[in-house]
Structures are given as structure tokens and as C-alpha cells.
Chains A and B, each alone.
Chain A
């Protein structure tokens, strides 16, 4: 029997670093910053509220906002646009990120260092600053138009800024590092002897890339794609600034509903739809990753 007094035993238990205790601080933080706000969001979305001077004076259960939102064509087009934008961003980030990761894999120590610096440095700069940089680059009197006109390739400035493509370009640049980092993590664990074995068995570099490196990178691709999708699906800075204020995606819509028209319940419903659709796409990504990594789950001997 343990003869120590209760408070000592409790102290031992809490600080022993076993069981659930080490997770307690994280649980508390998550409760405060995620669970409680989510509860508030749910309660706002599923009720009619009367706000007076910024304070809720009455609140009763109602599915009215959800029903209106689901029937509203504006919602359909906005969410369609958001998903398309996020998927396009994810697609281009994968397309551009994988070659960088491959370069990291085959490169020497200096190539690796340079790639790491070039990947991490942009993350240390604020996304808003980088987005403003794109305004300078893509604008009517920006660098791109300047060069093209100097070369005589165009006579009048192209309209790049304030178009959906400007948004895509900005989004891809902002989110590319998020794609590259998990891929690099996978690549730095990759066993190069497998590539040698593949070449020895007759595979070209492309064959090795396709049949060995790519399948073994799937976990990194899955993580990267999920992160990029989530971030680009829910961002409002880039679409707001590069889309010229008339590019409405789901996040900008929530922003307007909550900040400008003060329709909190409407905003809450939009946010819930955003979250639900995001989870569906993430589940889809997870399922695809799962299918491609069956070999990692075979019964170990």
C-alpha cells in the first residue's frame, strides 16, 4: 500500500509525466482557444438573436439561417469559387513544390541548405507584406508589365492585378513553403540506396521518380496538400488585396457578414459551412493518402 499523504501522491501523479497529465496544459489551451469559441459559433449559427449595442439581448433556437444559406445562390457561387481557388492553389503548390523537394533529395549539402533558407525565409515575412509585394510586381505599372513593355512584347499594360489569376499567383507563392516543408521532411528520410537499386534494375531517373520516390513521398504530399488546402480555403488577405475587393470567397464573405453587416448568425453559419466543407475535402485527401500507403499498415512480423 502507498502510505504517502494524498497531496504528495497527487503531486507525484501529476508530475510523473505519465497517463493523461502531460497533455493537460494543451487541453486547457485548446479548450479556451478552440472548443469554447466553437461552441459559441454553433450557438450563434443555430439561433435567432437580437443584438443591442453590441450585446446579445435575446437568443432562441432556429435553423432559419442555415436553411437560407443553403438555398442562397450567392453561397453556391462563393463556395464554388473558394473550393476552386483552394484546389487550384493546392494543385500548383504540389506541381511546383515536388520538383523543389526532388532537388533537395538529389542535391548536395549546399543545395539543401539553400533550398531550406529559401523555403523558410518567406515564412518569416508576413503574408500581408508579401501580398503587397505582389501588388507592386503585378500592378499596371508593376515590374512584370514594365519588363514586357520594355521588351516590346505588349503595347499597353496587361490587366493582371485584380483578376482571379493574380489571386492564384499570390496564393501559390504564399503557401508554397507549407507544401515544400513536409515534402522535404519525407525526402530527408528517403533511403537513396532504393534509388540506386531502382537504377540498377533498369529504371531511368524518371522511372525511379515515378515508381520509387513518388509513392514513398505520398505521406508528405498528403500533409502538404491538406495544410495548403486548409490555409488557402480559409484565407481572406490574398483574395481581398489581389482580387481588388470584388473577389468574394468564403472567408471574405464571413468577414463582411460579421464586420460590415453585423449579421453574426449569418457569419456563424457561413463559418460552419466553411468548416464542414473543409473537413470533407480533408477527409478525401486523407482517404487518398490512406489508399496509397497501404503498405505501411501491413501486419508486421
Chain B
């Protein structure tokens, strides 16, 4: 994505100087280009998420910001100052590692005190600040435990307290919830977001889980092969993806091939989608934007057969085979009419809101 794209999507926050600015960072490992002209800014107090599939360079970018890696070219600015020459231990950047990396030979209190000790802080001040940090993450009373005596969630909170006690300018989190079970993960995501917001800290957060990104972030940077594909708020990313890649990666999408004519693509049910493109296009249809109806009712976009259905909590997901062997995915609330539908049933599909569809150039 272009430089202009990065800037345009930061409108609103763009007046303030960014806390973190990455300009055209390039990092190669041998012949492999892992970061490719990667540019990004994080504003004061925002939670910015790097979202992308495995191997797209999220961790590499984070490690460059932390100083564990040096980019081959490009700039990394923190508060407007070039940080590349600054050694790791002098950057005001706190990292929460995926594995937590707690010191196994130190108690919880000593883990949290570690950074203060390295800065030769007076003992009395260390004691009060450690106490406050542990209270922030609700771990009061765990001071004398060792990391091996804590649950995964508690270990993670120690890792956070250990970094927060130093009041860093930027907090970096690399898939911090990966090791937690699904339920705890949900709770921790909310807790973490509240905590970061309460402290007003600027955070760059890495995940390959799109739901997590949508839950946690103020803005999301979708990465693809070492580049930022799109940077925007969760709403922008979800509702107005700028490429089929983003549309597909965030909130699984159906793509329907159509033809654009005079700024519009006609859908089979008579509605139409606005587009700047002309000629063959692919139209993004979100699964929740498709409605299931009984066959032969109102004007349907497609008729098809339910091939597969899956419970997702209060929702039901269907895979529906339409003419030409194409599969479309639809999601609906599990109300009475829908619950009766089963594999093999014939249904017709309609588009709920054509304005929520986006057309992309053909693949």
C-alpha cells in the first residue's frame, strides 16, 4: 500500500506527532525480504494492532521497534527521535513476550523490581512502585511466589506488571494471549484493553487472530508479506476493506464475480453495488450480509443447497452450494425458521444490504 494510503487513513489523529513512526523499514534475512518498505505510525495512547497471517513479518517489525533487530534500511522514530542507534536497554519500549520470559529464579516481586534495580532506583521507591504495579494487575499477595507457581494468566500479568512499572513510552505485545485458553483469552483481552486505556499508554499489539484485533484495537494495520496492506479503525478495516486480501483476511468473505457498468455492479437480486471500477469485478459479500429464505419467495439472488452447517454460539453458519458448484457462506441468528434448516435443504439467498458490499478488481 502506498505512503499516501497510510497517511490518509490516519486522518483525525494525524495532527498530533506520532509516538512511534516507522518509515520504509526494510529487513532481510539472507535472501528473504521479511519487511518490505514497511511504514506505520502509532499515535499517543492508542492501541495499534499488527494483524496478518503467520510469517508476514509482525514479530520482525516488533523486534525492530524493541531494538532486538536492526532494519537494513528505513527509520524508526519514537517521539520523533531516531531510535536505531539507541541500544535495546536504553529504549523506552516495554515488551511483553509471547512466552512471557519471566525470570524463573526470581520471585514475582523481584521480577517486577528487575528493571527498577537495573536503573539503580532506591530500595524504598522500588518497594512502593512494585506494590502499585502488582495492584494494577490484581496480583497483590503473590509477591513471594515464583513464576512456576503461577497460572498462565497470572504469569502474563506479571510480565505486564514488570514492564508497566518502568512506565515505558511504548508497550509492545507479541501475541500475548496465545498460551491462554479461549475463555480466559476473552477476559484478558478486555482487561488488557481497559488497563492500557486507563494508563494511557501507547501500545503496539501483534496478533494473527482477526477477532482479537477487532476487540482490542483502536486501529489495525493489516500486514501482508512485510508490507502494511491497510491501516485503519476496526470499522474501516471491516466495512471498507481496500483490497480483496483485507476483505478475505478480516471477517471471512464470499466473493462473487460480476461486471461493473457505469459505476455500478448489478447483483442477481436486482440490487446494485457502487464502484469506481469498470469491467469484471469481484464483489465482497460478508456471510452475515446474506439472508436465507424459503425457496420461491421474494426476489432471490441465488438458489442453493445447504451442504454443511455449524453452530457458532448464538449463530449458525451455513455453507451453501449455488449454481455452478460455487460455495457461499452465510451466517444467521438461530431463530425458529432457521433452526429447522438442515443439510440437503434447498434455500434461496438474498443480499441484506448492498451498500455494505465492496467491489474489487478481479484476481
Chain A contacts with B in 242-301, Cβ cutoff 8 A: 293, 295, 298-301
**A191–B101 Cα gap in the complex (Å)?**
8
Contact across chains for B148 and A201 when beta carbons are under 8 A apart: no
A68 in the interface, Cβ–Cβ < 8 Å?
A: no
B162 in the interface, Cβ–Cβ < 8 Å?
A: yes
**A194–B99 Cα gap in the complex (Å)?**
10
Contact with B along A141-170 (1 / 0, CB 8 A): 000000000000000000000000000000
Contact across chains for A200 and B94 when beta carbons are under 8 A apart: yes
Smallest CB separation, B107 vs chain A (Å): 8
Contact with B along A195-223 (1 / 0, CB 8 A): 01111111110010001100110000000
B4 in the interface, Cβ–Cβ < 8 Å?
A: no
Contacts of B103 in A (CB 8 A): 194, 197-198, 212
Given contacts A194-B103, A207-B118, A298-B146, contact A201 B166 (CB under 8 A): yes
A4 in the interface, Cβ–Cβ < 8 Å?
A: no
Smallest CB separation, B289 vs chain A (Å): 43
Smallest CB separation, A199 vs chain B (Å): 4
Given contacts A216-B105, A295-B105, contact A202 B150 (CB under 8 A): no
Contact across chains for B148 and A197 when beta carbons are under 8 A apart: no
Contacts of B151 in A (CB 8 A): 301
Contacts of A7 in B (CB 8 A): none
**A212–B148 Cα gap in the complex (Å)?**
16
Contacts of A203 in B (CB 8 A): 89, 114, 118
Chain B contacts with A in 97-111, Cβ cutoff 8 A: 97, 99, 101-107
Contact across chains for B149 and A199 when beta carbons are under 8 A apart: no
A193 in the interface, Cβ–Cβ < 8 Å?
A: yes
Contact across chains for A197 and B101 when beta carbons are under 8 A apart: yes
Chain A contacts with B in 81-98, Cβ cutoff 8 A: none
Interface size class of A (residues with CB under 8 A): 20 to 34
Interface centre among A194, A197, A199 (most CB of B within 10 A): A197
Contacts of A198 in B (CB 8 A): 103, 114, 118
B222 in the interface, Cβ–Cβ < 8 Å?
A: no
**A61–B68 Cα gap in the complex (Å)?**
71
Contact across chains for A204 and B89 when beta carbons are under 8 A apart: yes
Contacts of B97 in A (CB 8 A): 193, 196-197
Instruction: Return the contact of B114 from the options A201, A295, A299, A300 (Cβ within 8 A).
Output: A201
Smallest CB separation, B79 vs chain A (Å): 18
B280 in the interface, Cβ–Cβ < 8 Å?
A: no
Contact across chains for A300 and B149 when beta carbons are under 8 A apart: yes
Contact across chains for A200 and B149 when beta carbons are under 8 A apart: no
Contact across chains for A295 and B162 when beta carbons are under 8 A apart: no
Contacts of B117 in A (CB 8 A): 211
**A299–B107 Cα gap in the complex (Å)?**
13
Contact across chains for A196 and B68 when beta carbons are under 8 A apart: yes
Contacts of A193 in B (CB 8 A): 97, 99, 101
Q: Which residue of B lies closest to A195 (CB)?
A: B101
**A211–B105 Cα gap in the complex (Å)?**
10
B115 in the interface, Cβ–Cβ < 8 Å?
A: yes
Q: Which residue of B lies closest to A298 (CB)?
A: B146
Contact across chains for B89 and A295 when beta carbons are under 8 A apart: no
Given contacts A202-B118, A301-B151, contact A295 B163 (CB under 8 A): no
Contact across chains for B149 and A301 when beta carbons are under 8 A apart: yes
Contact across chains for A199 and B101 when beta carbons are under 8 A apart: no
Contacts of B68 in A (CB 8 A): 196, 199
Interface centre among A201, A215, A301 (most CB of B within 10 A): A201
Contact across chains for A215 and B94 when beta carbons are under 8 A apart: no
Contacts of B90 in A (CB 8 A): 202
Interface centre among B68, B102, B104, B145 (most CB of A within 10 A): B104
Chain B contacts with A in 56-71, Cβ cutoff 8 A: 66, 68
**A215–B166 Cα gap in the complex (Å)?**
23
Contact across chains for A295 and B146 when beta carbons are under 8 A apart: yes
Contact across chains for B88 and A211 when beta carbons are under 8 A apart: no
Contacts of B93 in A (CB 8 A): 200
**A298–B89 Cα gap in the complex (Å)?**
31
Contacts of B326 in A (CB 8 A): none
Contact across chains for A298 and B148 when beta carbons are under 8 A apart: yes
Contact across chains for B163 and A201 when beta carbons are under 8 A apart: yes
**A110–B88 Cα gap in the complex (Å)?**
25
B244 in the interface, Cβ–Cβ < 8 Å?
A: no
Instruction: Return the contact of A295 from the options B101, B106, B115, B119 (Cβ within 8 A).
Output: B106
Contact across chains for B88 and A199 when beta carbons are under 8 A apart: yes
Contacts of B102 in A (CB 8 A): 197
Given contacts A200-B88, A212-B103, A216-B105, contact A301 B94 (CB under 8 A): no
Contact across chains for B114 and A211 when beta carbons are under 8 A apart: yes
**A293–B105 Cα gap in the complex (Å)?**
8
B284 in the interface, Cβ–Cβ < 8 Å?
A: no
B95 in the interface, Cβ–Cβ < 8 Å?
A: yes
Given contacts A199-B88, A200-B95, A202-B166, contact A194 B118 (CB under 8 A): no
Contacts of A300 in B (CB 8 A): 148-149
Smallest CB separation, B160 vs chain A (Å): 12
Smallest CB separation, B124 vs chain A (Å): 19
Contact across chains for A202 and B149 when beta carbons are under 8 A apart: no
Q: Which residue of A lies closest to B149 (CB)?
A: A301
Smallest CB separation, B274 vs chain A (Å): 48
A-B contact pairs, 13 of them (CB 8 A): A196-B95, A197-B101, A200-B93, A201-B94, A201-B162, A202-B90, A202-B166, A203-B118, A204-B89, A211-B117, A212-B103, A298-B148, A301-B149
Could you list 6 further interchain pairs (A-B, Cβ under 8 angstroms) beyond the known A197-B101, A204-B118, A301-B150?
Answer: A191-B101, A194-B103, A196-B68, A201-B115, A201-B118, A295-B105
